[in-house]
Chain A
Amino acid sequence: MSEISRRQFLAGAATSTAAAALTAPRAHAQKRGGTLRFVAQADLKILDPVWTTAYITRNHAYLVYDTLFGTDEQLQIRPQMVDKHSVSKDGMKYSFTLRDGLKWHDGQPVVAEDCVESLKRWMKKDRFGRLLAAHGPRLAAADRKTFTLELGERFGPVLEALGKPSSNVPFMMPARLAATSADEQIKEIVGSGPFRFSKDEWQPGNQVVYVRNADYVPRQEPATGSAGGKRVHLDKVVWRYMPDHATAAAALAAGEVDWWEIPPIDFIPRIEQNPTLVTFLPDPLGTQGWLRPNHLHPPFNDKRARQALVYMMNQETYLQAAIGVPKYYRPCHSVFACNGPFASKVGAEGLAKQNLERARQLVKESGYDGRPVTVVHVTDIALLNGAALVTRELMSSIGFNVDLKAMDWSTNLAVRAKKDPPDKGGWNVLHTWWMAADVMHPAVHFGVSGAGPGAWFGWPEIPRLETLITDFVRASDQARRKQLADEVQKVALDEVAYVPWGEYVLPTAHRKSVSGIPKFIAPVFWNVSVT
């Protein structure tokens, strides 16, 4: 048997096994009741949601911790741990009063000082938090339940910062833990959220166990997003980590697990054919793909070479290669999430219509000398693999001499942090993705930062963007913010801070016995029940 036919045979066998696994569910004897078994997207290794931006740690923290404010399904900020709040007429002083009945998992009451310390730590790590910190806020506890935030300079989206839904979320912790340096991991997991973390049952690489927090007092409003009444119906939530997708698919079909967070897109058709399973889109806002040029080195230290990347872009081609199924992707010619309030077409004409002739002309005008252009090619993540291959074809077609460097995701993380020239281990182009919540507006969007050495990898130095972002957070009304966001987009695309290659959504899958899953960017377990 030739090598190719053997591979085909093996691939076919594996596929048919997985497919059969999905189409032939068995009613296994299984323990039901109050335990929900969940296959998480990744292995939970780091428990401190302020120390890392990893989405899996953020998701873990939504079970264990609570937030002062939450974001509802309409992207509105609503009070969560806060009972009432007030803002001075000049918008410079905020006062927050906590709800009654809030308790830490160690039995101590939540007091204002805990929130003050938690916010101070968060402001040292988070981009939005750092922007807030740059406006000289003074945080102080007024009494056991009330604390104030007094701004040194005007900062409009204070509540948006405190209620931001994605990493780093300002989760509240006891003051004794929040006093930990932001560069150190906290040593103890004590939150006030609807579930407690069961440390003794935690097995990194295998399972994480959460048990219901009987002391949790939910708000009275219905649950929506990360806001509203977080009513817990489950006694226990067990996260399992299954690195093999076929195993996870078989376990879901056999009823050994109840909910699979992110099945690969190619498993979805089989899941949808199984009458015991359901798929749905928990985060309709989706995720944005990025192509990021390195501004430090030729050829992309020249604006014209970067603009060539915009004109070569055809989002449909990227999305087909990376995602494949049209109902799960959509071209989006905005740097801000297309379903968000700051989506815009301003300055995106080049992005919306591929023009390879213009791209070739720009490459010539940039004085590109034919040196190899290093494109990072992440091979162990399917969508990045597809995107890199498309980039190679398109860049080659407009005259670049592309050197595709294959590597795994972890090596990519090390390579992308290198500022060295590409021939000394650095890079010219990489691909990544961000959830829509992280590209919603200029204050959270790393792609539009022009802070040079302080910007995200690729290090664009575009002072105009930094000025506009500062103006954005100082703006007092939404109309002005929208105007500034449009201007940010125009400058970001003209200077080519990065090139978005479209948006996609990732469905989740669960057994029909699971109900009440809230729509949110992270899997949350309040309101959820299993029969």
Chain B
Amino acid sequence: MLAEILRRLVATIPVMGVVAIAVFALLHVTPGDPAVIIAGDYATSDDIARIRTRLGLDQPFHTQVGIWLSRIVRGDLGTSIFSGLPVSTLIGQRAATTVWLTLFAMLISVGVGVPVGVLAAWRKGSWIDRAVMVFAVSGFSMPTFWLGFILVYVFAISTGWLPVQGYQPLAGGIGPFLRHLILPALTLSVVYMALIARMTRASMLGVLDEDYIRTAFAKGLAPRNVLVRHALKNASLPVVTIIGIGFALLIGGAVVTESVFALPGLGRLTVDAIVRRDYPVIQGVLLVVSGIYVLINLVVDVLYVVLDPRIRY
């Protein structure tokens, strides 16, 4: 198992290499030029050409890729064209916000989605099942930005219970930290809560018809034990998969949530960099996020083995 994990980790290197080159190529076919943005309104064509030369943007594509990859290998993600700050510093400033937001959102999604899905499957066809399905369809269809504004209106504007926007680091105290994170995490989690609830229900329905479940009930086991120990464990593989995919989607969804709640996270960093064509920042963030995706997939694969010992790689 350990050898397999190591082998998979090594295999991420060429994957990351392909991702890096693809990201670089995509950015360079996108219209826009950071040199003209930097040069400003008064610049002449000569000024712009000088800036392009200084940034190395006048070099052939393969030269630029080579320079960038050689830096990446040395652990240097480059420097923001605009702020002059190292990309690693910018990512470091923002990573904690997005990580906490994503973790909280996933915690809420799993904490609510899985029990609700189990309950709906157990009470198939009842009003509980129908209510869960209505919630799942609505939750999945609800635009994140709209839900965010509604939550802000109810919990921040009308009642004043929670702040409208902003982020407080954990170092500033657990209270302010949680108060600033609840609404964004709830906003972000609803879609995934619905997705997980539906997936859990569908997966549980497949398992609840099995003979061993009927036997467990016939032996007089308590429903909770049957549902959690026998049914849920066997139904969990698709749920774990969807949670893994959900993590990846959450990082993408964080872009909107961070904008609505003015959170200084990686999503907004990426959008701001794209708007300005700050290539080193876009490349750095996408590379880091791609790495996280690859690692999440690896964790999901490992969890398969833990949950179902029959699985071998």
Contacts and interface: CB of A to CB of B under 8 A. Distances in A.
A26 B146 CA distance: 21
A423 interface: no
A21 B38 CA distance: 37
B262 to A, nearest CB: 5
B153, B262, B264, B275 — most chain A CB neighbours (10 Å): B262
B83 A24 contact: no
B41 A53 contact: yes
Contacts of A216: none
B127 interface: no
Contact of A244 (B32, B143, B259, B264): B259
Interface residues of A, number: 61
A46 B82 contact: yes
A453 B163 CA distance: 52
Interface string A228-262: 00000000000011111011101101101000000
A454 B164 contact: no
Interface stretch (B21-29, B43-51, B185-193): B43-51
A28 B51 contact: no
A323 B66 CA distance: 48
A256 B165 contact: yes
A454 B145 CA distance: 45
A183 B54 contact: yes
A247 B82 contact: no
A251 B38 contact: no
Contacts of A206: 93, 262, 264, 268
B260 A247 contact: yes
B301 interface: no
Given A410-B32, A417-B33, A453 B165 contact: no
A10 B146 contact: yes
B131 interface: no
Interface stretch (B4-12, B118-126, B154-162, B225-233): B154-162
Nearest to B277: A410
Given A45-B276, A53-B42, A205 B264 contact: yes
Interface string B228-265: 00000000000000000000000000000001111010
B214 to A, nearest CB: 43
A207 interface: yes
A253 B41 CA distance: 35
B149 A246 contact: yes
A13 B150 contact: yes
Given A250-B156, A256-B165, A13 B146 contact: yes
B98 interface: no
B42 A45 contact: no
A529 interface: no
Given A126-B42, A185-B84, A243 B264 contact: no
B82 A417 contact: no
A453 B45 contact: yes
A54 B160 CA distance: 37
Contacts of A414: 31-33, 36-37, 277
Interface in A481-516: none
Interface in A295-350: none
Interface in A408-446: 408-411, 413-417, 419, 432, 446
A89 interface: no
B152 A21 contact: yes
Contact of A127 (B31, B42, B47, B146): B42
B262 A204 contact: no
B31 A413 contact: no
A17 interface: yes
B37 A410 contact: yes
Nearest to A25: B157
Given A417-B48, A446-B42, A256 B164 contact: yes
B164 A250 contact: yes
Interface string A138-181: 00000000000000000000000000000110000000000000
A28, A45, A52, A446 — most chain B CB neighbours (10 Å): A45
Contacts of B44: 453-454
A256 B276 CA distance: 28
A207 B83 contact: no
Contacts of B204: none
B56 interface: no
A94 interface: no
A446 B143 CA distance: 44
A184 B149 CA distance: 42
Given A187-B84, A244-B262, A246-B149, A253 B157 contact: yes
Contacts of B262: 206, 240-244, 247-248, 251
A134 interface: no
A415 B82 CA distance: 20
Contacts of A446: 41-42
A181 to B, nearest CB: 10
B80 interface: yes
A125 interface: yes
Nearest to B31: A411
Contacts of B146: 10, 13-14
Interface string B136-176: 00000001011001101100111010011110000000000
B44 to A, nearest CB: 6
Contacts of A24: 157-158
A117 interface: no
Interface in B79-93: 80, 82-85, 90, 93
A432 B41 CA distance: 10
Contacts of B275: 408-410
B40 interface: yes
A283 interface: no
A419 B39 CA distance: 16
A18 interface: yes
Contacts of A17: 149-150, 152-153
Nearest to B157: A21
Contact of A251 (B39, B47, B160, B164): B164
Nearest to A28: B160
B269 interface: yes
A416 to B, nearest CB: 8
Contact of B90 (A27, A28, A204, A241): A204
Contacts of A26: 156-158, 160
Nearest to B41: A53
B76 interface: no
A454 B46 CA distance: 9
A475 interface: no
Given A183-B50, A244-B259, A251-B165, A20 B153 contact: yes
A407 B153 CA distance: 33
B272 interface: yes
B229 to A, nearest CB: 43
13 contacts: A20-B153, A26-B158, A187-B84, A203-B94, A240-B262, A247-B261, A250-B156, A251-B166, A254-B156, A410-B32, A413-B37, A414-B31, A414-B33
Interface of A: 10, 13-14, 17-18, 20-21, 24, 26-28, 43, 45-47, 52-54, 125-127, 167-168, 183-185, 187, 203-207, 240-244, 246-248, 250-251, 253-254, 256, 407-411, 413-417, 419, 432, 446, 453-454, 456
In the A-B complex, the 6 residue pairs with the smallest Cβ-Cβ separation, listed nearest first, are A206-B264, A53-B40, A26-B160, A45-B82, A414-B33, A17-B149
Given A187-B84, A417-B43, 10 more contacts: A10-B143, A13-B149, A20-B158, A28-B163, A240-B262, A242-B165, A243-B268, A244-B260, A244-B262, A256-B166
